[in-house]
Amino acid sequence: MYAVTDPATGEVIATYPTATDAEISSALELAHRATAWGRTSTAAERATALRRLGDLHAEHRAALAEGIVREMGKPLAEAEGEIDFCVEIYHYYADHAEEFLADERIDVTSGPGEAVLRRFPVGVLLGIMPWNFPAYQVARFAAPNLAVGNTIVLKHAPQCPGTAALLEELFVRAGFPEGAYVNVYATNDQVATMIADPRVQGVSLTGSERAGSAVAEIAGRHLKKVVLELGGSDPFLVLSADDLDSVVDAAVASRLDNTGQACNAAKRFIVVADLYEAFVERFAERLLAQQSGAPLSSVAAAENLQRQVDAAVAQGARLVSAGERKGAYFPAGVLTGLTPDLPVAREELFGPVALVFSAADEEEAVRIANDTPYGLGSYVFTTDPAQAERVADRIEAGMVFINGVGAEGAELPFGGVKRSGIGRELGRLGMEEFVNKKLIRTVA
């Protein structure tokens, strides 16, 4: 089940044994025992380990990046950038752990005395991670929770076992005690067992809508809190432009991020009518010219995208592309002639294919943007600051980026609404999800 299969060649490079039930039980027990460390260590001590973990990511940047390329096909420069972002995340929480966990005094108005809100870890957390950002997704989940003092059992994607093993080694070398971070090569049935286990206090998953629904259902039955970051079909609104070329460049960069395999990449491009033809012409030309030539994560991923594109064309869409799918390699493409009622308009296309819609005006652009079951991120390009503010308020998404792409940061909360998930990661909010915010009231 856990195997490194190079998507560029289809060659199985390495396999890893799936965990036995006894190994799963041992992992849970180790993490449970390590909760004593989480309760008794100081924020400063945990911050020291996080800083060392960030440093270790920097030291092993080449090995981590090469492993990511081998496991899921990401272009090397992007894999190196992913590790750099991990370093920022671990260092960010090292810098801010004490500040974020400081006592919060409450102004008592209901009677005499004083009150304080003090933050404590909740215990063992189960993390279920995807293949598209093998190191960054772990950092986004692990950094804030280890800063709090929670312990982690981490189930990585089956196609990323090598990265999973190396990451566990770095956590140990950073100084976290045995059980603070435990990697498991678990099956789906074992995941269900772990969620139900009373030692597990919460679950964080980044993955598909289907996986999120399944995890949430099991967690709900056992009264476990979840944080879910699921799919997205983020809109990219072009409402006005002084420099259309720069807007097109931003659109291309966003669609080609991770060869189009990012949940929060722009996927639906909604352009006002007077800019539509010029945008489509330049966008299609540059998208095809700038595609990385990297494969998708697997042949199966490419086959699924092919089915979606074929269905869109059958529904009346027009495809501009160059070349044909070969194995896991999928050529960039632009689909036009779309209306929001077509089935493809409500799907997530995970690969370098863009959907472009024409909108009569701002009102219709916002309506198309919101006409989706997803609500992760969004992008608004306009020369009018008042319009930017107005549209940002109306878009149904967890994140809005105005006149820019690639603007995520360790300090900025990440998450969505609707079927894109529940909860937030990163920033201060990322530390607030799995925390016992204990009220201590002194009357006299």
CATH number at residue 326: 3.40.309.10
Domain edge (last residue) among 385, 402, 419: 402
pLDDT of residue 207: 94
Same domain, 221 and 254: no
Which residue range forms the structural domain that includes residue 247? Answer: 234-402
430 lies in some domain: no
Pick out the chain residues at pLDDT < 50. none
Pairing of strands 200-206, 124-128: parallel
Give burial (CB, 10 Å; 0-12/13-18/19+) of 50: buried
**What whole-number distance in Å separates Cα of residue 431 and Cα of residue 398?**
17
412 lies in some domain: no
303 lies in some domain: yes
pLDDT of residue 137: 98
Domain edge (last residue) among 230, 256, 278: 230
- Domain of 212, CATH number, reads 3.40.605.10
Total count of domains within the chain: 2
Cβ contacts of residue 310 below 8 Å, gap of 6+?
A: none
Q: Which of 229, 362, 425, 433 is catalytic?
A: 229
Nearest one of 213, 178, 197, 260 to 25, comparing CA atoms:
197
Q: Where are the beta strands (DSSP E) in 252-397?
A: 266-272, 318-321, 333-336, 353-359, 379-381
pLDDT of residue 333: 98
24: tokens are 């799963």
Same domain, 217 and 261: no
Same domain, 242 and 347: yes
391: tokens are 């549209």
- φ/ψ bin of 199: left (φ > 0), alpha (ψ from -120 to 50), beta (otherwise): alpha
Same domain, 222 and 245: no
pLDDT of residue 184: 98
389 lies in some domain: yes
421 lies in some domain: no
435 lies in some domain: no
For residue 358, give the DSSP letter. E
Q: Is the separation of the CB atoms in 53 and 171 below 8 Å?
A: yes
Same domain, 225 and 239: no
Annotation marks residue 263 as catalytic: yes
pLDDT of residue 444: 85
pLDDT of residue 335: 98
Cβ contacts of residue 368 below 8 Å, gap of 6+?
A: 235, 268, 270, 340, 357, 359
Same domain, 251 and 205: no
Q: Is the separation of the CB atoms in 38 and 147 below 8 Å?
A: no
pLDDT of residue 323: 86
**What whole-number distance in Å separates Cα of residue 46 and Cα of residue 410?**
18
Q: Which of 82, 86, 160, 263 is catalytic?
A: 263
Same domain, 254 and 394: yes
349: tokens are 């296309």
Domain edge (last residue) among 230, 260, 279: 230
270 lies in some domain: yes
**What whole-number distance in Å separates Cα of residue 187 and Cα of residue 23?**
12
pTM for the structure as a whole: 0.97
Edge-to-edge strand ranges of the sheet holding 104-106? 104-106, 114-121, 435-442
411 lies in some domain: no
Same domain, 151 and 7: yes
253: tokens are 């960069």
CA-CA-CA-CA dihedral for 41, 155, 413, 420, to nearest 10: -150
Q: What is the pLDDT of the chain when averaged over all its residues?
A: 97
Same domain, 179 and 238: no
Same domain, 100 and 225: yes
Same domain, 270 and 317: yes
Annotation marks residue 229 as catalytic: yes
pLDDT of residue 319: 97
Same domain, 220 and 350: no
